[in-house]
């Protein structure tokens, strides 16, 4: 019997997870976790693959990847200069605001655009586009184009793209290709980010493909999208922005699969953050607004999620006798001590700074180490501090040998990614309590002893407080997700004081927990909210499972609207392929059903993956002025196609 297997890979912020799934029954055969490598995640992926049972690799027929690469590339652009050659030229067409943002160095707004009914209101200024392309083509890696009301008529975006492609060999991304939502400026930003990510994602995915082939694995290579669906690698590279936030997408799909729950809330505890999202009828809940990435408002359809900055690797620190969390992620002391054994002795010798000096960056259990990145321009004090930090963990006392200047200089080195911080984390607290013992327990115990003295409590009690607070935070974010109109602080107060007020939140669907150390928090979450708490088998690698078990999904929106043309009323149909005029409403509805299904099937067939079975669901919403009206004012049709990838 020829049994086939699939490999799922999730390159997260802290770990790169990999799983082998048997395709005939979906059973997880083997899994591994390997530290994610920076700035190049490929070595981490290689390490994860090396740790799997090699006897299965020749029988693998599918490989699917999810990663935070695209998200990180955008986020890092907010604090550092964009890498040379990754600039994008943005062309805005019609009545729209200028992108007056220093992160967009090359842009132009030209005449053109259409009305809400898709009628051309100004001729496209072709000459201005040609002049701009000629001026910028040697300075950028790609072009982005967005026109006013292109979702009603994409003709001007298509013409601009044709001009650019004739004049250059560079990628061109149009706003209407990525979103059918109104908002030409936001579509322009979406196209801009997508174009910026094309060379970055191409480099990453080419490296993954070459690594898979180097190992002799003859498999379909897929990538997870931010709506929880998968797509063939070639299609993924056409619009890499759709891989933004694939981590939460993978966790949702994986949680539903492992728990066998079609309706559930998912809590995914990672090193950097804790994410909460929802699955309904087996499909992730999608936000109506576009995803916000690095301060950019986009039109990318992504999973709706509630995110807490408190993750397993969040820094736990003391100020004025109060325990604080984060907001920055650090390397847990237990993990760092396993890699650098000398750290343990340095923790033992750590002295407590004065109360005035204490802050997140200056703690007795805080250490620093170089990242390996080459320093750029630095001020005198920055350079002096950087020179004192080596390739082994360096204590506060070793850095500030002649007193403690403002911690702002350490902050600058961290933001420039020249140094990593090491500190006490919730993961360390679990090591002290014996709930999670992956790394060096003794190092965590020594650090916990120092911090507990600062708040005049016992070491174990201190760690119990850290753990309890983390568990309550998980529960509070579940309720913030469900109760959107209630302030998170008020929800946390109710959870913290449930016995005093005799109140307790009840959740009507199961809550599934995912993440490496998440089993340690089951009781804490159960105490905080009244819900069925599920800890599925292989919860620690749920994201990687989600990457390989995802389906091919496509959403197509079609709008039908009665409009006035002079003294005559006509029915217009607006689709991603363009607009069409009809003499009557029923005829437009009939045509819309055919076109919507056809566009979904075209996408499924062109996904780069063999589809063995599919289904299409149609969601219809009418808008009427009066219930007695024979036909609605407009109808919005959403066609959702789901296809199974052939084994």
Examine the fold and report which residue of 546, 564, 584 is the final residue of a domain before the chain moves on: 546
Gap between the Cα atoms of 77 and 79, Å rounded? 6
Q: How many domains does the chain have?
A: 3
Residues 489 and 596 in one domain: no
**Residue 224 resides in a domain:** no
Percent of the chain whose predicted confidence (pLDDT) is above 70: 87
* Domain CATH for 357: 3.30.420.40
Let me know whether 310 and 437 are in one domain. yes
Q: Looking at the structure, do residues 541 and 562 belong to the same domain, yes or no? A: no
Q: Are residues 521 and 557 in the same domain?
A: no
Within a domain: 150: yes
**Shared-domain flag, residues 517 and 567:** no
Residue 37 per-residue DSSP state: P
Torsion region of 443: left, alpha or beta (phi above 0 gives left; psi -120 to 50 gives alpha): alpha
Residue range of the domain that includes 155: 89-200
The answer on 455 and 360 residing in a single domain is yes
Task: Judge if 542 and 561 occupy the same domain.
Answer: no
Write down the H helix ranges in 393-487.
396-399, 408-415, 426-433, 441-454, 459-482
34 in any annotated domain: no
Q: Are residues 634 and 486 in the same domain?
A: no
Q: Would you say residue 621 has pLDDT above 50?
A: yes
Task: Confirm whether 223 is domain-assigned.
Answer: no
For residue 120, being part of any structural domain is answered with yes
Cβ(346)–Cβ(445) below 8 Å: no
Residues 540 and 558 reside in one and the same domain: no
Report pLDDT for 452: 92
- Asked if the model's pLDDT at residue 385 lies above 70, the reply is yes
Q: Is the pLDDT of residue 422 over 70?
A: yes
Higher pLDDT, 306 or 54: 54
Together in a domain, 564 and 518: no
pLDDT digits (tens, 9 = 90+) for 279-304: 887 777 777 665 555 555 566 666 77
Q: Are 149 and 115 in contact (CB under 8 A)?
A: yes
Whether residues 638 and 563 share a domain: the answer is: yes
**Are residue 536 and residue 556 in the same domain, yes or no?**
no
Which of the residue ranges 54-63, 225-234, 248-257 would you say has the lowest mean pLDDT?
225-234
Q: What is the dihedral of CA 386, 390, 391, 397, to 10 degrees?
A: -110
Among the listed residues 504, 501, 508, the one whose alpha carbon sits nearest the alpha carbon of residue 482 = 508
Which residues touch 465 (CB under 8 Å, ≥6 apart)?
323, 457
- pLDDT above 90 (res 328): no
pLDDT score of 260 more than 80: yes
The answer as to whether 313 is a domain residue is yes
Write down the pLDDT at residue 466: 92
Global pTM reads 0.72
Model confidence at 78, pLDDT cuts 50, 70, 90, reads very low
Among 516, 546, 576, give the residue marking a domain's end.
Answer: 546
Give the DSSP letter of residue 106.
E
Nearest Cα residue to 145 out of 195, 83, 180, 71: 195
């Amino acid at each position: 019997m020829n049994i086939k297997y699939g490999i799922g890979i999730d390159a997260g912020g802290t770990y790169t997870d990999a799983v082998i799934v048997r395709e005939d029954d979906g059973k997880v055969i083997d899994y591994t976790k390997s530290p994610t490598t920076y700035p190049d995640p490929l070595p981490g992926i290689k390490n994860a693959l090396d740790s799997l049972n090699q006897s299965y690799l020749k029988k693998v027929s599918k490989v699917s990847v999810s990663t935070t690469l695209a998200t990180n590339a955008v986020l890092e652009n907010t604090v550092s200069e964009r890498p040379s050659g990754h600039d994008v030229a943005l062309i805005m067409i019609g009545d729209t605001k200028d992108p007056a943002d220093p992160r967009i160095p090359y842009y132009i707004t030209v005449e053109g655009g259409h009305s809400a009914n898709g009628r051309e209101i100004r001729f496209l200024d072709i000459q201005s586009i040609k002049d701009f392309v000629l001026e910028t083509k040697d300075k950028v890696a790609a072009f982005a184009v967005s026109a006013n009301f292109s979702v009603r008529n994409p003709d001007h975006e298509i013409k601009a793209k044709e001009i650019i492609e004739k004049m250059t060999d560079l990628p061109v991304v149009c706003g209407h290709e990525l979103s059918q939502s109104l908002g030409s400026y936001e579509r322009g930003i979406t196209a801009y980010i997508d174009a910026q990510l094309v060379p970055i994602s191409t480099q990453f995915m080419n490296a993954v493909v070459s690594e898979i082939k180097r190992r002799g694995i003859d498999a379909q290579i897929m990538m997870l999208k931010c709506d929880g669906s998968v797509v063939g690698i070639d299609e993924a590279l056409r619009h890499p922005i759709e891989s933004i936030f694939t981590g939460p997408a993978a966790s949702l799909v994986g949680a539903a699969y492992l728990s066998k729950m079609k309706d559930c809330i998912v809590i995914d505890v990672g090193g950097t953050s804790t994410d909460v999202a929802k699955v309904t009828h087996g499909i992730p809940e999608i936000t109506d607004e576009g995803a916000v990435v690095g301060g950019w408002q986009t039109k990318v359809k992504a999973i709706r999620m509630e995110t807490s900055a408190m993750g397993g690797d969040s820094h736990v620190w003391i100020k004025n006798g109060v325990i604080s969390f984060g907001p920055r992620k650090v390397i847990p002391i237990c993990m760092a001590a396993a890699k650098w054994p000398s750290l343990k002795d340095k923790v033992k010798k750590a002295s407590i700074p004065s109360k005035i000096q204490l802050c997140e960056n200056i703690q007795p259990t805080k250490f620093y180490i170089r990242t390996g990145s080459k320093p750029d321009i630095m001020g005198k004090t920055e350079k002096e501090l950087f020179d004192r930090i080596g390739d082994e963990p360096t204590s506060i006392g070793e850095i500030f040998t002649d007193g403690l200047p403002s911690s702002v200089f350490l902050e600058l080195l961290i933001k420039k990614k020249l140094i990593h911080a090491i500190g006490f984390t919730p993961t360390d607290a679990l090591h002290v309590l014996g709930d999670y013992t992956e790394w060096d327990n003794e190092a965590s115990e020594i650090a916990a002893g120092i911090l507990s003295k600062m708040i005049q409590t016992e070491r174990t009690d201190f760690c119990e407080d850290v753990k309890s607070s983390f568990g309550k935070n998980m529960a509070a974010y579940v309720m913030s997700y469900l109760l959107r109109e209630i302030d998170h602080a008020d929800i946390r107060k109710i959870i913290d004081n449930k016995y005093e007020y005799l109140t307790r939140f009840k959740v009507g669907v199961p809550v599934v927990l995912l993440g490496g150390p998440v089993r340690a928090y089951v009781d804490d979450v159960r105490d905080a909210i009244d819900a069925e708490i599920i800890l599925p088998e292989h919860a620690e690698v749920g994201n990687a499972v989600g990457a390989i078990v995802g389906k091919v999904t496509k959403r197509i929106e079609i709008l039908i609207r009665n409009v006035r043309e002079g003294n005559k009323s006509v029915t217009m149909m607006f689709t991603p392929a363009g607009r069409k005029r009809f003499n009557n409403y029923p005829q437009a509805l009939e045509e819309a059903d055919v076109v919507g299904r056809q566009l979904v099937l075209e996408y499924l067939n062109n996904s780069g993956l063999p589809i063995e079975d599919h289904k299409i669901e149609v969601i219809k919403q009418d808008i009427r002025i009066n219930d007695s009206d024979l036909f609605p004012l407009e109808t919005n049709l959403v066609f959702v196609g789901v296809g199974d990838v052939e084994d």
